[in-house]
Amino acid sequence: MKKFICMFALVFACQAKADDLIESLEPVAAAPQVIVVYRNQCPDNQENAIGMVKELIEYEKASSPIAYSSVPGIWDDGTIGAIDLHQSLEMMERAFEWQQKDESWTAQYNAIVSACGGNEFEPSYMVAK
């Protein structure tokens, strides 16, 4: 009986914890944050390119004077890319300016494009409301 009570308590605690995780999800973004989506065709080199994108994101975290977050991924149609979250349009534009001026960032980006057969990333963005 003692084992049954312990098992019941354990299952109940696990279920309560799982429910807490579902309820604790935060919104993806809040106004006036900006979500930027980058996509690129990279049919023959996806995994290598994703590894390179991860390295670029680590470089951004360590080197960018503008704070933003990024996560890489592969879409269901096979395109690769990343999703960035910026605090505002102004901060996104400042981050883009830094990227264009930073030689290491540019070199890493160009290496990813080269690994994808010269295909450029196609960015689009959404402003949270």
The pLDDT assigned to 44 comes to 84
The pLDDT tens digits for 2-22 are 544 434 444 444 455 555 566
- Which tops the pLDDT comparison, 61 or 9? 61
Q: Is residue 50 part of a domain?
A: yes
- The Cβ of residue 53 has, within 10 Å, a number of other Cβ atoms equal to 25
Residues 70-90, mean pLDDT to the nearest whole number: 95
CATH number for position 118: 3.30.70.100
> How many domains, in total, are found in the chain?
1
Q: Is residue 58 part of a domain?
A: yes
Q: Is residue 90 part of a domain?
A: yes
The residue range of the domain holding 76 is 34-127
8 Å CB contact between 88 and 42 = no
